[in-house]
Structure formats: C-alpha cells, structure tokens
A and B are shown apart, each in its own frame.
Chain A
Amino acid sequence: MAFPSSADRQGLTVTSAKIVVAGGFGVGKSTLVASVSEIPPVNTEAWMTQAGESVDPLSDSSAKTTTTVAMDFGRVTLAPDLLLYLFGTPGQPRFWPMWDDLCRGASGAVVLVDTRQLDASFPAVNYFENDSDVPFIVAVNLFDGKLTHSLEKVRDALCLDERIPLVTVDARDRRSTAKTLVTCLTHTMKTTPTRA
C-alpha cells in the first residue's frame, strides 16, 4: 500500500479534505467511493455507541444503546501533500448522530439517488437541507446507463431547490465520479465566501 509519507518527511504539511457521499440503502454509495479510491474501500465497524463521540462507561443504560455501525470510506492522493477522503454515510436515519460526526469538516456532500427508489434518498436530502451546513449536490446514479425520468421530474419529486445542482453519474466509472465530485466542490465555492 502506498502512503504519502515522502511529502511529510520532506517537511511538507500534508492536508486532507473530505467529501461525504450520502443517500438511501443500495443507491450506489460504496460503488461510487470504490470507483476513485486508491485503497480498497474500507468497510468497518467503527462506532460503538449511538453518539459518535462518546466512549462512555458502560453503565446499565448505555449498555442497552450500544450499537455498532459500519464506516465506509476511500482515499485519493491528489498531490504529494493533498489527500481527499470520501465517506459514505450509514443508511438509516437512526444513525444520524454518526452523520453529524462524518459531516463535520466536510467540504461538500453528494446525495446519490436511484430513480427506481427515489424515496430511499429523501432523508438524506432533508438532512443536508435542514440539519447541516455542508453544501450538497444531488446525483442520479444511472444504474442502466440511461435516465428513466427527466432530471426535471426528479427535481420536482425531491422538492429540490433550483439552486442545488442536480446531475447524473455512473457510480462505477472513475471519470464520471470525479466529474461529480468537481461539480460538488464547485458548488461549495459558489455558495461560500472566498475567505471562508
């Protein structure tokens, strides 16, 4: 496995950025992460308790709320001193405390939707509209290479503000994924002050 260690040893400060990939169950989040990741996407149980931060003493009450949740991420080295991490969100809304943890410090988010089950991604859209300061875009994963509903219809069904970019993506394709991530960060640039 390659590590960007040389930059660090040369005294360069290595910087990391993060993009969150959200959306309902089975919409292609892990596939999208894998398409650009240079490491095999890591899928691991990482969160012990419901609150992402807490490592509480296992008192009687917290023992009952203990859950393990998978963490799903990949990494792209963009320059010797610049790493991009992609984090997929755990699907169910009851894991939202982990969404907060994942989204903290993110430069942008991509909400993936599958037009055959649009409603699966409603909670993710709601989350980024109402509960997060992370700028987001919505990407329709083209499972069979074609769009079954026009983007306009998708926008209506999602009640998506005109200002939120809506694009199509082939989550299996590196180039398509990279383009979507560029759209995402370009949107962040447009919606944040120059010196944020």
Chain B
Amino acid sequence: MSGNPWVRPYVLTGGRTQTKHQLYVHTLVSASHFDARAATKLTPESRRLYDRVRLGPQSVAELSAHCGISLGVTRVLLEDLASTDHLQINDGAYDSPFDHRLLKRVIDGLSELG
C-alpha cells in the first residue's frame, strides 16, 4: 500500500503511530510556497505528499489516495511535514462540524447546485 510494498509502515514513520493534530480524513493540508531544495531532502513518501500539496489545498484522504500511501502513514508524515514548516494543516474556520454558521454555508452552497 505504501508505494514500496517492501517497506513496512513502521519504518516509514519511525515507529510513531499517533498524530498531534486532529487529522480527519477531510482535513485540508496546504503549502504557502514550494521549496524545491528542501523537497530533495525528503524521503520518497514525504516527497510525494509535499509535491502533491503544491497543486492546492487537499484533504488527507486525497493525498493518501493520490500518493498511494495508507491513511495512517499519511497522517504521520503530514504531521512531520507540518512540524518542519513544509506545509500547513488547515484547522478550518470553525471549531465544530455542527457550527451553525458552517452548516448554513454548506446548505446555501448545496442549494445553488440543484
């Protein structure tokens, strides 16, 4: 599942299994700039994620899917990339998924789709 089936997830993440941020499958990740030199120093998996984030804000799930890296490993690697300022984990403008201002906006947007 990771790009290289011979590398155990444990090795890729240095054995860490927990992440600090609440990384939901739909949490957005973005990069304000791309540092090509820094990119060359990353492990292949982290590099794939970093390269992909250049395209624009994307969810953890999209990054996992497009880079072919399992969700658990993706979470840990994104957390690392964020802590080294390669990218930002976007906590969103609302504290709760039930915040009525958020719900109202989504409802309005969906109504326009119809």
> A95 an interface residue at 8 Å Cβ cutoff?
no
Are A55 and B62 interface neighbours, CB within 8 A? no
> A75 an interface residue at 8 Å Cβ cutoff?
yes
Q: Which residues of A contact B25 (CB under 8 A)?
A: 18, 71, 73, 85, 87, 101-102
Are B106 and A13 interface neighbours, CB within 8 A? no
Are A48 and B1 interface neighbours, CB within 8 A? yes
> A5 an interface residue at 8 Å Cβ cutoff?
yes
Return the chain B residue nearest A68 by Cβ: B1
A: number of interface residues (CB 8 Å): 63
Are B110 and A71 interface neighbours, CB within 8 A? no
CA distance A57 to B27 in the complex (A): 26
Contact A3:B56 (CB < 8 A) given known A18-B97, A46-B61: yes
Q: Which residues of B contact A81 (CB under 8 A)?
A: 93
Q: A residues within 8 Å of B by Cβ?
A: 1, 3-5, 7-9, 13-18, 36, 42, 44-49, 52-58, 68, 71, 73, 75-76, 78-79, 81-85, 87, 101-102, 104-107, 135, 174-175, 178-179, 181-182, 185-186, 188-189, 192-196
CB-based closest 8 A-B pairs: A3-B56, A78-B109, A5-B56, A196-B98, A55-B72, A57-B10, A105-B24, A192-B98
Q: B residues within 8 Å of A by Cβ?
A: 1, 8-10, 12-13, 15, 17-18, 22, 24-28, 30, 32, 55-59, 61-62, 64-66, 70-73, 75-76, 90, 92-94, 96-100, 102-114
